[in-house]
Amino acid sequence: MNAKTKFLLTIMVLIVWVAGSGMSGFYSPQVLARPQVSVTNVVRNRTVQFSLQNFRADVNVEVLIGAYGTHGVNGVRVGSFRTTQSGTLRATVSIPSRFSGASRLDLRVQRRGYNGTSNLNYFAYDTFNNKTNPVVTPQRTISVQVTNVVHNKSVTVRFGRLPAHMRFEVRMAGLGGKQGGYQTVGAFNSGAGGTLVATYHIPRTLAGSKLIILTVHSTTQGYSGITLFFN
């Protein structure tokens, strides 16, 4: 089968898929919300508590702990759970004895049977200090949810878990960084904190990009969040 034939077959499959999905009358943006796991409590050398969100709903996951810097890949399996209908999970697992005395460790949650592909929706990890509370983590996560996209023009975003009275910058980049890296598209003050909804223009240099990364980060402290969306 030559390249031209393969291309035509691919187009035909896409046409059949679009027709079958009922997308002929309107455009509904597809949003990829990255799974996020956050360590919430640690008892040194004994247990670690975590919370998971934005994962696939009602699926089996496994929890691994590994040395710092490994992202938990090929770590010690310490638990097996099932996510809720909303794709969340809260659990406590034991720290393996082999890591007793380690100053920092990585905790990883991944879909059971995950084979290490690049699908970002099948895993999440966090780094934690192996010491009893207070827990200090490298990043404090802001939830980021894309609610609307106007192709090549704008994106509306809902930010959650914002701390009070803090300045944030919002940036965008094409997936893979082929459009010149991250570009600042806006900034805001969190005011009383909590949630905030805002709309940002998609930079002209990202026009035509299929997938765009959107990040938010504090200009003074370690709060940040990230998501992907289809343009």
The Cα 135–Cα 40 span in angstroms is 7
The rounded distance, in Å, linking the Cα atoms of 120 and 71 is: 13
Which residues in the chain belong to E strands, given as ranges? 31-32, 36-43, 47-53, 60-67, 76-82, 89-94, 104-111, 123-129, 140-141, 143-150, 154-162, 167-174, 183-189, 194-201, 211-218, 223-230
DSSP annotation string for 118-134: S-GGGEEEEEEESSSSS
For position 119, what pLDDT does the model report?
A: 59
Q: What is the pLDDT along the chain (231 residues), one digit of tens a residue?
A: 555 555 545 555 455 454 554 444 444 444 456 788 999 899 999 999 999 988 988 999 999 999 998 889 899 999 999 999 888 899 999 999 999 999 999 999 999 877 665 555 688 899 999 998 754 555 578 899 999 999 999 999 999 989 888 999 999 988 765 555 789 999 999 998 889 999 999 999 998 899 999 999 888 777 888 889 998
pLDDT for 22 equals 47
Measured between alpha carbons, how far is 167 from 145 in angstroms, rounded to an integer?
A: 19
| CATH number assigned to the domain covering 32-129 | 2.60.40.1930
Give the Å distances, CA to CA, from 219 to 38, 157, 222, 228.
21, 19, 8, 21
For the whole model, what pTM was predicted?
Answer: 0.48
Q: Where are the domains of the chain?
A: 32-129, 140-230
User: CATH top-level class for 140-230?
Assistant: mainly beta
Q: Which two tokens stand for residue 19?
A: 């027709």
Separation CA 212–CA 174 (nearest Å): 5
